[in-house]
Structure 1
């Protein structure tokens, strides 16, 4: 859903426009609705600073409460209001944390905002208490790991990590761009207000921005800082010959028809950047700050007129980080491998939650399915055309006048019965719940929120009143834990009339979106719990709303059912609460193309359960684009089709028999691979490593992968290459070296380390299984994933040059949290020396168990000589014939694939199958 307008709302908004209130244009994305860096004073000031302009030095270095502490003071008596306090902390795993804030003992007008409820308590407790610091005269050094040290250089002030041999890894303020605008009282005659278009920000505490440079040594490329519709490898935004002149912006905004290939910020913000280089490995830098942020990637020569010598002549990528408010609370992640950095980051902000099994399948959505009859017809058509799906979604029109937790009694008179009909087929429903509350004295949510003082206030202290879907609306102050708890209670079956246990939730517009607000959001001087200005927490608003909603579904299920909540806005830690999608994209080939780096970047920054609207939200895709989007979307971690209400209906059966077949095959591909996807979601849940991965995450030494964001890995076993142009007859596919790759439809082997020019047809996009891997599948077609629970498995074994392979299978009850107490099955399959073995790799449980009678009824072998004729199953001493067979039940047969039928071994047992 986007900030377009219904006809009635358009009339209201046009009336307001006639009253000189700013209402965003809805015909297309309007550049002048949003500020650029020159129109953003803190960004303009920071960008105007020259290298080495920082005058701070580190003094009074000491150990205090296990931290290295120092005062940052002005050199040579240059003006600076008060000393800043530097704290440097070391945590298990070699993570370095650097905090800089004003000295509270010197009486700043108020405490600067520190973002709560993001950093995990267990991470905080992993701090290693420093007992000593090495004095090198001009620097103080602390131990990080066996080969890494953290250094605080005193004059000029700098923090960096180096290897024991002296080679630098990651640094802050190496270019001397650090600046910290301190809070102070207004002097007579000062005017701190800022205006943009018709909006004025009072800025009661004046300029309070922070900026500094961060350098990544030995890096070939940098990645991360979503959300932007850009390439995976971030392009320089400043320097000689740079195409872009704007920094990458992190400011959560409801952007109508966002542009692809742009540094403009959209719905979410994660200030995490990763670097990668063939010789240097992978590192990460994370700044926990919820205010608007602008980040420059500095091209070579950016400081040519006033540069500084690089230590040891090391190559590096310089970046410049600028934020409007908050404190410095920064984390250095030292890898050295790509997966290490993601694990380190998610040890701070949380591992991704484990989704319910149904949520990993296909979702069908539209703004809006009109009524219960429409819902019933769509549901029955999926059955008629033998297309599986698991979730049907309802947008804002299902409510009574945009009042959330209500139903339009004319259109949806029997919501519980409607949900039960879906649930009887193993299907679920999702309804939308947004953060804006209709200001209607007869609406119980508004009455309670008003009476309890639960709304965000405007700068004068009154309940903030902005415009969104219901018209006049107020916004819950979800920074306050009390208000989040109250909101969570609204999701109980008793409070949410018409809901059932099979109903789940969608949070949209939670940037927050305010149609008549500055840049379509809330004023920066609005006030939250504890006197916090909206400017200080803006990027985290949607995070707290997402958190409260997920807690509501936890309460509804008495803490035993995993919630499913989709959110558009996000922030570090959002991965703990549910899924994210890339917002209101457009039905264009370029948006199909950019969806891949967007989802990959989300995964790199912890949010693995992510996807893009299949088909594009705005516009009407031509049939070829729609089919190609389904074929690619089947491999997104979150797989949902969605469309704007002004678009033509585009359910898969509306485009002729052949196209229906192609889309059905794409959706079935996802269902076949659900065991593999679910196993990967468990890996993400335990390690943070994403489901969908850039090629360089799996092949960190292969330079040909570093900028490749047209192809991606699903786990460590499947490589997918999208088709991004109309009428394509060939695809150029780079397969990383070191092993062969098997076409997943034909079983034909291709050499790695080579770019292959492959012919493509309309029936699929190129997808390959890496040699040396084993993929679990379920090949029987059902109406929904819920109906597949007891179906047998297929193992696809792709042998490498040594005739070896391995893979894993994770299974639990698909819905509860009992897996956390040991109620799951986790098996490793290993093929070596002509024998396939299943072994248990589940960790010891704590009182709960899970069992399954599911069997493996087919084993497919790729790369094995057709001279092998039989196999012996133990236990049981059962001899089976090995025969040629198709790789897929509904695909072309392949002489390259050999099949062992009906070994009938249980997935929960130890067993071996020996090739004779």
Structure 2
């Protein structure tokens, strides 16, 4: 007899015993059976008769097989429909608390049922059919399988991978496998199905062939294979979006191990899966954000140019940069202070302002305000035992502890002196309030925004105040950290809150903004940055950006700095930041002249960007969008990850180069007419185009039929506030009718209709 081997305690969901429906949900009782794998070949077996399992018993070299026992482990599957075209499926052992949770227990989903749909269940001989007005879910009785169809078209949207077998007929990807604390859902990939998403991943936008571990990490760059902001959400070109409502680590094997299988392993006993069906990614993201929340539009100044450095060491150094922006006539709105503002400043935040270095905080804010600038301040959620407030926080129970009761220290992020760093427990209401209150005086003094850095270092063996299971805690920590600061800003200022966060998880999009972490100052770092932003856009729609010039690495060439600034000028938010100077005048006269022109171009386009921001916040969409967001049926468009859309009307084509000479750039143009923003050159898509791009230029195309509101920007414009009261001009591209112009009616920065110049400017006619 051939012995079987496999992960100890593995079970496969195999038989549906019955179904109950109450009009709002359907509950299925499912038998799970022990499952094993043969030691000499891939494939799974249960104790059921071989013929029932589809094993090819006539195979001449099939070994004798010792089947596992058939002890039944009861599972349940609960199906609900929180929105039109949306199903929630919870698969878990009988009695698991996730089965009784309405979806909001982890704090990722904030509205359990924005528009609940009725469900009906019909039991047939070989399956149970669950229907909503839009969807049909077929659940195979024996073996247990799932198949989701669009009722309007009859098309299969999603199905489990139970049809896939190896040569002896053994299952290679059972529908659901529970093993050693991980539950794996295996879905079949179609022959031309593309999968996108999974958060801020720095590899190719289409994830087919990739193996991803979704765990928020201090990635130490954009080229390490780690992710600061993973999100267990993916889009299929077959017309659905999947979202796993969990804080547990998820392993997403997208046709990597088995070419036709999307395997999703959740490090939990339960799988809480939301499926949103529909052809348009935009509509699917609207449904997802109806469940998980949407971001407010940040204040207008947030869309201006930001400048930072790791680090400005003194008040005089900060003011020198402020004066430099005005002397060189570069519009700018925000200056950022990294940790030198603290007395104890190495992986510690205790909100003790360093007056020796920076003087009175309020005075610094006022001095910057005279230059039209606002102050951004760095923080992280860790405390150094050397801090004067450490003992207070520990005594009050504000710090995270391990399961054995000892104080938890940060994990994986090294400390400069070898001492532990403790973490604030944001699940403790008193600790959260304590942390929030320490922001109050900063905000009262006029600090505009907090850079919520780090947050990825929570250990795995923690006992949080609210009882969050340890395996769920790590990935939820960034969400709770950024949420605490965002809520404090809203409460203490009454305005739309804004943070500048590095870590994240599902739901983080509702706490704008985020940036792409510590990119290397190389062409590869710039390319990875674009890919990370596009991947994040499809998973956490909102306001994302990056460090212009990259954060670290080889000496940044003036030419790469220019190319990165051009891209940054057409990004949702715009910030230059790095270990060394990032001010444009630090890179020579040519770089200064080119960068100044692109910063001014950004300010002239702020009326358009403001409309996009409002549209994005209202609908739960990203500002920076992959081409496939608006052209999902174009297989080439949805794979493009070297260009992006800013809103629906601007196509931005970054130039990935670090030399002074013109670059030959080939790029894809989607369907329709497109016009160059600078000279009205006409491009027709779909198709590829090649142009020679000097250092002073970057291709930016406008969609034919678009109406862009713009404002004139001259040397007198220092910041966004200086644009107040100026007329906006409508720029029409291609065939735009008077009715189209009349319908444009842009909303001004103050929320009222914008004052428009009498005559629009027409392009491309």
Report the TM-score, using the length of structure 1 for normalisation.
0.72
Cα-to-partner distance string for 1:315-359 (whole Å, 9 max, x where unaligned): xx5300112226211101102212111112111111222111111
Task: Give 3-state SS (helix, strand or coil) of 1:736's partner.
Answer: strand
Conservation of the 8 A alpha-carbon contact between 1:224 and 1:604: yes
Aligned counterpart in structure 2 of residue 419 of structure 1, from 365, 370, 385: 365
Aligned counterpart in structure 1 of residue 572 of structure 2, from 613, 616, 637: 637
- 1:537 partnered with 2:473: yes
Conservation of the 8 A alpha-carbon contact between 1:394 and 1:432: yes
TM-fit CA distance, 1:440: 4.0
- Flag the 1:111–1:162 CA change in 2: closer, same or farther, 3 A: closer
TM-fit CA distance, 1:173: 5.4
- 1:702 partnered with 2:634: yes
- 1:439 partnered with 2:403: no
- Flag the 1:356–1:336 CA change in 2: closer, same or farther, 3 A: same
TM-fit CA distance, 1:812: 5.4
**Residue pairs, 1:513-662, within 5 angstroms:** 522-557=458-493, 560-619=494-553, 620-644=555-579, 647=580, 649-662=581-594
Task: Give the match for residue 247 of structure 2.
Answer: 290
TM-fit CA distance, 1:365: 1.0
Task: Give the match for residue 106 of structure 2.
Answer: 116
**Residue pairs, 1:472-491, within 5 angstroms:** 472-491=420-439
CA distance in 2, matches of 1:643, 1:360: 19
CA distance in 2, matches of 1:441, 1:664: 42
TM-fit CA distance, 1:163: 3.1
Conservation of the 8 A alpha-carbon contact between 1:487 and 1:552: no
Task: Give the match for residue 17 of structure 2.
Answer: 59
CA distance in 1, matches of 2:8, 2:208: 17
Aligned residue pairs, count: 704
Task: Give 3-state SS (helix, strand or coil) of 2:196's partner.
Answer: strand
Aligned counterpart in structure 1 of residue 356 of structure 2, from 406, 410, 418: 410
- 1:860 partnered with 2:761: yes
TM-fit CA distance, 1:683: 0.7
Conservation of the 8 A alpha-carbon contact between 1:223 and 1:232: yes
Conservation of the 8 A alpha-carbon contact between 1:296 and 1:320: yes
- 1:160 partnered with 2:147: yes
- Flag the 1:499–1:784 CA change in 2: closer, same or farther, 3 A: same
Aligned counterpart in structure 1 of residue 130 of structure 2, from 126, 142, 146: 142
CA distance in 1, matches of 2:451, 2:707: 35
Task: Give 3-state SS (helix, strand or coil) of 2:586's partner.
Answer: coil
TM-fit CA distance, 1:803: 9.2
Conservation of the 8 A alpha-carbon contact between 1:73 and 1:80: no
Conservation of the 8 A alpha-carbon contact between 2:393 and 2:399: yes
TM-fit CA distance, 1:285: 0.7
Aligned counterpart in structure 1 of residue 614 of structure 2, from 677, 682, 687: 682
Task: Give 3-state SS (helix, strand or coil) of 2:354's partner.
Answer: coil
CA distance in 1, matches of 2:145, 2:13: 11
TM-fit CA distance, 1:707: 1.6
CA distance in 2, matches of 1:754, 1:414: 58
CA distance in 1, matches of 2:101, 2:289: 28
TM-fit CA distance, 1:212: 1.4
TM-fit CA distance, 1:220: 3.2
- 1:274 partnered with 2:235: yes
Task: Give the match for residue 93 of structure 2.
Answer: 102
CA distance in 1, matches of 2:254, 2:8: 12
CA distance in 2, matches of 1:481, 1:158: 43
CA distance in 2, matches of 1:475, 1:106: 28
Aligned counterpart in structure 1 of residue 402 of structure 2, from 442, 452, 458: 458
Task: Give the match for residue 383 of structure 1.
Answer: 326
- 1:500 partnered with 2:448: no
Cα-to-partner distance string for 1:595-617 (whole Å, 9 max, x where unaligned): 22211111111332111211010
Q: CA RMSD in A?
A: 2.9
**Residue pairs, 1:816-895, within 5 angstroms:** 824-825=751-752, 854-856=755-757, 859-864=760-765
Conservation of the 8 A alpha-carbon contact between 2:93 and 2:269: no
CA distance in 2, matches of 1:332, 1:112: 16
TM-fit CA distance, 1:366: 0.8
- Flag the 1:441–1:664 CA change in 2: closer, same or farther, 3 A: closer
Aligned counterpart in structure 1 of residue 455 of structure 2, from 492, 499, 510: 510
CA distance in 1, matches of 2:229, 2:80: 28
- Flag the 1:364–1:68 CA change in 2: closer, same or farther, 3 A: same
Task: Give 3-state SS (helix, strand or coil) of 2:395's partner.
Answer: helix
Task: Give the match for residue 764 of structure 1.
Answer: 697
- Flag the 1:47–1:592 CA change in 2: closer, same or farther, 3 A: farther
Task: Give 3-state SS (helix, strand or coil) of 1:68's partner.
Answer: strand
Task: Give the match for residue 170 of structure 1.
Answer: 158
TM-fit CA distance, 1:364: 0.4
Conservation of the 8 A alpha-carbon contact between 2:88 and 2:275: yes
- 1:773 partnered with 2:760: no
Task: Give the match for residue 784 of structure 1.
Answer: 719
TM-fit CA distance, 1:61: 1.1
Aligned counterpart in structure 1 of residue 732 of structure 2, from 775, 779, 797: 797
CA distance in 2, matches of 1:104, 1:70: 13
Of 465-474 and 660-669, more deviation after overlay is shown by 465-474
- Flag the 1:107–1:569 CA change in 2: closer, same or farther, 3 A: closer
- Flag the 1:106–1:720 CA change in 2: closer, same or farther, 3 A: closer
Task: Give 3-state SS (helix, strand or coil) of 2:358's partner.
Answer: coil
Conservation of the 8 A alpha-carbon contact between 1:525 and 1:533: no
Task: Give 3-state SS (helix, strand or coil) of 2:491's partner.
Answer: helix
TM-fit CA distance, 1:501: 2.8
Task: Give 3-state SS (helix, strand or coil) of 1:407's partner.
Answer: coil
Task: Give the match for residue 201 of structure 1.
Answer: none
CA distance in 1, matches of 2:591, 2:293: 42
CA distance in 2, matches of 1:142, 1:594: 43
CA distance in 1, matches of 2:97, 2:740: 64
Task: Give 3-state SS (helix, strand or coil) of 1:345's partner.
Answer: helix
TM-fit CA distance, 1:69: 0.5
Task: Give the match for residue 177 of structure 2.
Answer: 179
CA distance in 2, matches of 1:589, 1:166: 46
CA distance in 1, matches of 2:691, 2:114: 53
Conservation of the 8 A alpha-carbon contact between 2:31 and 2:72: no
- Flag the 1:722–1:134 CA change in 2: closer, same or farther, 3 A: same
Task: Give 3-state SS (helix, strand or coil) of 2:587's partner.
Answer: coil
Cα-to-partner distance string for 1:788-818 (whole Å, 9 max, x where unaligned): 121111211102398985574543555xxxx
In structure 1, runs of 5+ residues without a counterpart are 1-43, 182-206, 238-246, 304-316, 513-521, 815-823, 827-851, 865-916
- Flag the 1:79–1:438 CA change in 2: closer, same or farther, 3 A: farther
Aligned counterpart in structure 2 of residue 740 of structure 1, from 664, 673, 677: 673
TM-fit CA distance, 1:272: 0.5
- 1:222 partnered with 2:158: no
Task: Give the match for residue 127 of structure 1.
Answer: 116
Task: Give the match for residue 190 of structure 1.
Answer: none
TM-fit CA distance, 1:464: 1.7
Cα-to-partner distance string for 1:483-527 (whole Å, 9 max, x where unaligned): 32332222212xx4x952343211111112xxxxxxxxx431122
Conservation of the 8 A alpha-carbon contact between 1:345 and 1:606: no
TM-fit CA distance, 1:724: 1.0
Task: Give 3-state SS (helix, strand or coil) of 1:133's partner.
Answer: strand
CA distance in 2, matches of 1:766, 1:433: 37
Task: Give 3-state SS (helix, strand or coil) of 1:461's partner.
Answer: coil
Task: Give the match for residue 39 of structure 2.
Answer: none
CA distance in 1, matches of 2:97, 2:220: 45
